[in-house]
Structure 1
Amino acid sequence: MPDYRNDIRKPTGILIPLLFLVWLAGCLGPVQHLYPEDEELRPVPVYIISHGWHVGIAIEREHIESFLPQHEMMPQAAIYKFGWGDGRYYPDSEAGFGLMMRAAILPTRSVIHVVGIDMPVEHYFTASTVVKVRVTEEGAQRMAEFIGDRFLLDREGNPQFAAVGLYRNSTFFKARGRYFIPKTSNTWTSRALRRTGYPITPIFAITSGNVIQQARKDGTVLRDN
Structure 2
Amino acid sequence: MKRWLRRVAFTLLGIMALAALYVAVACALMFWPANAKAPPAPELEAWVLSNGVHTDLVFPIHSAAIDWRQIFPLAHFEAVPPDAEFIAIGWGDREFYLNTPTWADLTASRAFGAMLGGNRALLHVTYLRRAQLRRGAYRLPLSEAQYKQLAAYVRATLPSGRAVPIAGAHYGKDDAFYEAEGGYHLFETCNTWTGRALRHAGVSASRWTPFDFNVTWHLQPASP
User: What is the RMSD computed on CA atoms of the aligned residues?
Assistant: 2.7
Where do 1:1-225 residues align within 5 Å?
Answer: 27-30=34-37, 37-39=39-41, 42-63=42-63, 64-65=66-67, 69-71=71-73, 72-73=75-76, 77-92=84-99, 93=101, 94-123=105-134, 126=135, 129-153=136-160, 157=162, 159-161=164-166, 164-203=169-208, 205-215=209-219, 219-222=220-223
More displaced, 133-142 or 91-100? 91-100
The alpha-carbon distance between structure 1 residues 173 and 28, as it changes in their structure 2 partners (threshold 3 A), is: same
| CA distance in structure 2 between the aligned counterparts of 1:135 and 1:57, rounded to whole angstroms | 12
Change (3 A) 1:100 1:162: farther
For residues 72 and 39 of structure 2, the distance between their equivalents in structure 1, rounded to whole angstroms, comes to: 35
Per the TM alignment, residue 105 of structure 1 is displaced from its structure 2 partner at its CA by: 0.7
- Secondary structure of residue in 2 paired with 1:89: helix
**Aligned length, in residue pairs:** 183
**Displacement after TM superposition at 1:52 (Å):** 2.0
3-state SS of paired residue (2:157): coil
Letter matched to residue 129 of structure 2: D
For the Cα contact (< 8 Å) 2:127–2:175, is it kept in 1? yes
Distance 1:68 1:149, change over 3 A: farther
Q: CA deviation at 1:194?
A: 2.2
Structure 1 unpaired stretches of 5+ = 1-23, 31-35
Asked whether the equivalents of residues 153 and 160 of structure 1 are also in contact (C-alpha less than 8 Å), the reply is no
Is the contact between residue 56 and residue 189 of structure 1 (CA under 8 Å) also seen in structure 2? yes
Which one has a bigger Cα radius of gyration?
1
1:61-120 deviation digits (Å, cap 9, x = unpaired) = 124426963553158542110111000112222241111101101231000000001324
For normalisation by structure 1, the TM-score amounts to: 0.70
SS at match of 1:134: coil
Letter in 2 for 1:86: D
% identical equivalent positions:
18
Instruction: Write the distance in 2 (CA, Å) between the matches of 1:166 and 1:82.
Output: 14
Whole-angstrom distance in 2 between the partners of 1:110 and 1:68: 22
Residue 130 of structure 1: how far off its partner (Å)? 1.4
Answer with 110-119 or 75-84: which moved more: 75-84
1:38, CA displacement in angstroms?
A: 4.7
Q: CA deviation at 1:213?
A: 1.3
Q: Distance in 2 between matches of 1:190 and 1:158?
A: 22
Displacement after TM superposition at 1:51 (Å): 1.1
1:111 to 1:162, Cα distance in 2 relative to 1, 3 A: farther
Gaps of 5+ in 2: 1-30
